[in-house]
């Protein structure tokens, strides 16, 4: 059995593992998103909006870690395709962003297809229970890594 100290220095770093996994996910997900008409960044944006709560552009920028100028361009494109709406918030300097019916449909279609190919990828190396555990663990890690909402 490996000691915890030895395991910590001989196991690959998370960054190195993700650097090997993320390009494969992008390769698998890219064509799906293209078919649905979304870029990777746009999918990240609509995923945040799919929670159902209207978000300010500032909150959306924080959650997606996209600078406000670039986010604004994505929002212009999404709005131009009738996938989102932006309305003036109580604070007139802010705009609230929500998904439209078409935006929700595009998100659901992409998510369903992405989940299917992710499940296939996970099945190459993990049991269903291990896959579920990995997803739960990554979700908890993502919560810890989320930008502050303050």
CATH number at residue 105: 1.10.10.10
**Number of separate domains in the chain:** 1
CB 41, CB 74: distance < 8 Å: yes
- The pTM (predicted TM-score) of the whole model is 0.83
Contact present, 82 and 39 (Cβ < 8 Å): no
Task: Write out the H or E segment, with its range, that includes residue 99.
Answer: strand 95-99
Among 66, 23, 73, 20, which Cα is nearest to 47's? 66
- What pLDDT, on the 0 to 100 scale, is given for residue 6? 56
Q: In 3-state terms, what secondary structure has residue 95?
A: strand
pLDDT at 150: 45
- Name the phi and psi angles at 92, rounded to 5: -60, -15
What is the model's pLDDT at position 4? Answer: 55
The encoded tokens of residue 134 equal 């990995």
123 found inside a domain: yes
pLDDT value at position 9? 73
The answer to whether residue 12 sits within a structural domain is: no
Q: What is the mean pLDDT of each run of 10 residues along the chain (150 residues)?
A: 59 93 96 96 95 87 91 96 88 82 97 97 97 96 78
Residue 82 has what pLDDT?
97
Query: Residue 135 sits in which domain range?
Result: 20-145
Residue 14 in any domain: the answer is: no
Asked if residue 13 is part of any domain, the answer here is: no
């Amino acid at each position: 059995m490996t000691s915890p100290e030895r395991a910590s220095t001989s196991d690959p770093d998370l960054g190195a593992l993700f650097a090997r996994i993320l390009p494969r996910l992008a390769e698998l997900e890219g064509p799906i998103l293209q078919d649905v008409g979304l870029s990777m960044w746009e999918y990240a944006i609509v995923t945040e909006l799919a929670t159902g709560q209207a978000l300010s552009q500032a909150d959306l920028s924080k959650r997606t870690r996209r600078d406000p100028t670039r986010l604004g361009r994505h929002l212009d494109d999404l709005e131009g395709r009738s996938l989102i709406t932006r309305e003036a918030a109580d604070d007139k300097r802010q705009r609230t962003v929500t998904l439209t019916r078409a935006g929700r449909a595009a998100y659901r279609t992409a998510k369903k297809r992405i989940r299917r190919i992710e499940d296939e990828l996970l099945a190459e190396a993990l049991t269903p229970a291990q896959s579920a555990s990995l997803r739960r663990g990554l979700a908890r890690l993502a919560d810890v890594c989320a930008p502050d909402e303050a």
